[in-house]
Each structure stands twice: as structure tokens, then as C-alpha cells.
Amino acid sequence: MIVVIEKHNTHRHPKLMEGMFRLRARVFCDRLGWDVQVACGQERDKYDDEAPVYLIYADDEGREVKGSLRLLPTTGPTLLADLFSDTVPDAAHLSAPTIWECTRFCLDDRIVDKEQRLFASAVLIAALGDVAIGAGIESIIANFDATMLRLYRHIGCEVEVLGSTSRYGRPIYLGLFTVSEPILHRIKARMLEARLAAARPREASAPQSLTLASATR
């Protein structure tokens, strides 16, 4: 299920909020090695105090967080304006009521199957599309690494990369996503395809993934 959390309903989802901050610590600190602050196993920054909108993809019982993202309007203070002001000032300082920023997009690091990762990100992005269209948002500016960029394009997102920063080692890109009904339809179609692919009998694909796993080792 997808849960949209803002300040007014944060208190109703303490487990999910904690799960999200823990997931962010695992992904952005442990895996990607970004320069983020982790305290008590949870990653937070000052933009979490700017009343952002969180989209959390969780299991149906609302216990495990499978993915999450954070949204802020570019009319107010934004993370990307800070992070990219030296390398990509043009895009970093875009500001308009219908342009929002999406940061801290992440998927559960324990989902390793490629099709399942694809499906999970499609679910989250489709939900983002629904929220965006419902709120009059026309473009989304976001940061991501090369792996996520491939994934976004594979799902059917329309994104233009506007620049990058190598402040934290491997490049982090800044891109502008267009929000529209046709794009959203396409993403939802890919989402269903990915679900079918992820649900295909494991017997057939098991030996193959075993070979793949041993090949990467």
C-alpha cells in the first residue's frame, strides 16, 4: 500500500516514519555512502523539518517500508538548491508553484530481484504521478545516481538530466521529470508488466539467477 504522510497525519504512522528514516540510513549512508547525517540508525536532515510530503510504499499490514520519497515545493526552501547551487545553479534555483522537488527516493535494499525492484519503483513513481496530478504539479526536479536513472527511464519516466555533482565521490545527477497523464499511463502499464515478470514462477528463473549470482561473485 501507498501512504501519503504530511505533518497532519504523521502521528498516525509512527512505525512507517521510523521505518522510512531507517531505510534512508541504510540506502544513503551504508550503501551509497552519501554525506548524510545518521543518528540512532535513522537518517534525517533539516528539510525533514520543512513540512515535506512523504510517499511511503509499505506492505499491506503497514509494517515494512519497501520504498519512500520526499516532496517539497520549489517556492520554499529546498535541498537541491543547496546541494547543486555550485555545480548546476540554473536548475537548482528553479522556483515555481507547479515545480516540486523529490529527494531521498529509495527502495528497500533487501529487495534484490531486478524485476521486483523495477515493480517497487514503478509503484512509488505511479503514486507520485497521482499525487502530482492531484496537486497541480507539472514538473519534478530530483537527484539520483546512475543506477536509479536507468531504472527511471526503464519504467517510462521522461527525464532530462541537467547536471551532476561529484562532491560525494560517484556522480549524483540532477534531473527534471515531466508530469503528464500520458506518461503516468505508460508508467502504470510498465508497473503491471513488472508485476507479472516479478510473479513468474521462480522454478524457471531460479537456476538462471543462480548463475547470475555466481557470475557476479
> In the set 111, 135, 149, 198, which binds another protein (CB under 8 A)?
135
77 in contact with another protein (CB under 8 A): yes
Distance CA 158, CA 2 (A): 22
Alpha helices (H) in 28-180, listed in sequence order? 79-83, 89-92, 114-134, 146-155
Could you tell me whether strands 172-178 and 159-165 are parallel, antiparallel, or unpaired per DSSP bridges?
Answer: antiparallel
Reference 43, options 55, 67, 25; nearest CA is 25
Q: Given the rule CB under 8 A, which of 20-28, 75-83, 112-120, 165-173 is the region that contacts another protein?
A: 75-83
46 in contact with another protein (CB under 8 A): no
Q: Which class for 197: exposed (0-12), middle (13-18), buried (19 or more C-beta within 10 A)?
A: middle
Q: Rounded to the nearest whole angstrom, what is the least distance from the CB of residue 159 to another protein in the complex?
A: 10
Distance CA 56, CA 16 (A): 8
Please state the separation of Cα 76 from the chain's center in Å. Answer: 20
> In the set 1, 31, 46, 97, which binds another protein (CB under 8 A)?
97
Reference 133, options 185, 58, 204; nearest CA is 185
162 in contact with another protein (CB under 8 A): yes
Task: Pick the closer one to another protein by CB: 14 or 134.
Answer: 134
Site string for another protein, 2-41 (x = CB under 8 A): --x-xxx---------------------------------
139 in contact with another protein (CB under 8 A): yes
Q: What is the size of the binding site for another protein (CB under 8 A)?
A: 38
Site residues for another protein per CB under 8 A: 4, 6-8, 50-53, 71-77, 89-91, 93-99, 131, 133-139, 158, 160, 162, 176, 178
